[in-house]
Structure 1
C-alpha cells in the first residue's frame, strides 16, 4: 500500500490519500464520491485497528501494574490508561510528523531494542541462537502447508481465533501505516523501499519472536514448567512473568 501511495503521489502528482491507490482503476473518479467513500472506509478500518491495539496495550499495562504494585485489573483503571495514552498520542500528532510522531516512534523503537537485547543477553542465549536458525528453517519448510491449511478436518477454531484475527488486525492498520511509510520514504528508490519495509521488518520479527518465544519455552521446558499455564490463566501478564525470571526485573518490568 505504501509503495502505491508513494508512486502515485510523488511521481504522478496525486494527493497523498488512500483513494490515490485506486487511480489506475477509477481514474479521475477518485476525486469524487468514490474517492470519499474509499477514504471513509480506510478511516473506519484504522479506527478498528487502533481500538484493538489500544485495548490489548491497556490490558497489558494494567496487568503489569497489578503484578508490580497491586493495582486491581478493572475497567476504571483501564479507562484512565486509555485517556492518558490518547492524550500522549494527541500531543504527538499536534506537534507534527518530525517533532511529534517520529520522535515518539524512535523512542519506542530504542526502548524495544534495549528490551530485546536485555532478554537475549540475560536469557538462554545459546537456546535462542539455536532456535533462531531452526525457527527460520521450520518456517520455510512449512510455509506452503500453513498458508493453505484451513482446519477442514480439525474444526478447532484455532485459525479463526489467531490467524484470521491477527491478519484482520494488521490489515486494519495498513491505511495509516501505508501513509506514514509513504510520507517518510520520499526520495528513496523502490529497492531501498522494499529493503526497509519488507526485508528488515521480517528479519526483526523473526528475531523478536525467537528471543521472547524461545525464552518462554526454555522456562517451560527446563526450569520447572508452569509458565504456559500461568500465561493461559492471564495472557496480558505473560511479558511480566517472563521478565520476572530474569535479573533486574523491577526495572525492566
Structure 2
C-alpha cells in the first residue's frame, strides 16, 4: 500500500564465480624451491654414498669381468657388485621419478615433483644399503651383541659413516613425502625400527654377521641427522595450509 513505509530490500552479496575469494589464505611454499631441495639432497646423499662404499676403483674392472666364474654372484652377492648396480641404476631412477611426476601433474596432483622425487629417492638411497647389510659376512656364525657402545669403540671411520648413511635417505626424504613424519623424533623412531628389523634378519638368517645394538643406534642417528638437514623444507611444507 502507498501509505506504508517503503523499506529497502536487503540483497545477499553476490560473488563472482570467476574470482578467487580465498585471497586471505597465505600462499603455499614455492614448488620450485622444494624440488630444488629434494634434488640437492639426492645429490648430496649420492656423493656421500659413493664416498663410503669403499674401494670403488675396482668397480670399472667388473664391467669387463667374465661372468662364467663365479657367475652372477659377482654382481648380486658382492660389495662391489651392489655398488656397480647402484651407480648404473641412477638413470632408471631418474626416469622413474620423471614418469611419476608427469602422471601426477596430468592428474592435477599438487607437489607432483616433490612427491615423486621423494619416493624414488627413498627407495634408491635405502635399498642398496640394506642389500649390502644382508650379504653374508665373515663371522663364525651369527653373533648377537646387546651391550651399548661396546662395538662402537672397535669400529673404524668407514663403518661408522656407512652405518650413519644406511637410512639417511629415508630420514632426509620421508618427512617431505609423508606429513605424519614431519618430526625428528618420529624419524628417529622409524630409523630405529627399520634397523631393528634388518639386524634381526641378519641374526635369524644366519648371515655370519654381528647383529649389534650399536648398529641400531648409528642407523637411527643417521636418519635423525638427515631429517634435521632437510628440516627447513619439510617444516614449511607441513605448516602450509
TM-score range, shorter chain: 0.3 to 0.5
Higher share of residues assigned helix: 1
TM-score (norm 2): 0.37
Pick 1 or 2: higher relative contact order, CA cutoff 8 A, min separation 6: 1
TM-score (norm 1): 0.36
In our comparison, the structure showing a higher alpha carbon Rg is 2
